[in-house]
Amino acid sequence: MTLEDPVQASWLVLVYRIPSEPTRLRSTAWRRLKSLGAVYLQNSVATLPKDAASERALRKLRHDIIQMGGTAVLLDSVPVVGEDVVLGAYQSARADEYEEVVDRCEDFLTEVGKEYEKSHFTYAELEENEVDHKKLADWLARIVERDRFGADGRVEAEAALARCEEALEQYAARVYLEEPEGH
């Protein structure tokens, strides 16, 4: 995917209202918007760069909000002024996500280090570490996919994930040496 010119970017804007009770309905909408990478311009007004996948997801969320007893409008918008505010919020959200990946990678490396300290080299632990690594890799891939404008932090996050992969490979090699065949 090529970087788009932020000045020419079109944005989808979801304006919605959800009943205050039960509160789980509001949190459901918030979690879905967050998982899409949307940023809030103000309460109950969220935006994403326009593309077919974002439009499908926001149309579905709009439908679900109405099913919850709420109201929602999905707008196609190009800011007349304030594009820097919208873009800044979007870029900041991606940079925060990249930073969180780096933090989680450090946690992963710490956990693998603990296995070395305990001399705990088992296939079960290797499998658990492989699952954790895959989650990190998938998460980073989702962030990269929605990073339409080249936010800060991608290089650091990719490097952190590479360190995790290297540590996992070293751990796997040690498991293969330590674990007897047939167990």
Structural domains of the chain ordered from first start = 6-78 (3.30.70.240), 85-178 (1.20.58)
- The CA distance from 135 to 29, in Å, is 23
pLDDT band at 136; cut points 50, 70, 90:
very high
Query: If we measure between CA atoms, which residue out of 28, 3, 1, 2 comes closest to residue 91?
Result: 3
Q: Determine if the peptide bond prior to 79 is cis (ω within 30°).
A: no
- With beta carbons less than 8 A apart as the criterion, state whether 106 and 159 touch: no
Instruction: Report the pLDDT value the prediction gives residue 182, as an integer from 0 to 100.
Output: 54
Angle at 61 between CA 60 and CA 65, to 5 degrees: 120
pLDDT at 63: 97
Instruction: Of 80-89, 101-110, 127-136, give the lowest mean pLDDT range.
Output: 80-89
User: Averaged over 160-174, what is the pLDDT?
Assistant: 97
How many CB atoms are closer than 10 A to CB 56? 10
DSSP secondary structure code for residue 41 in this structure: E
DSSP state of 141: H
Concatenate the DSSP letters of all residues of 71-129 into one string: EEEEEEE--SS-HHHHHHHHHHHHHHHHHHHHHHHHHHHHHHHHHHHTT---HHHHHHH
Residue 181 — very low, low, confident or very high, per pLDDT cuts 50/70/90?
low
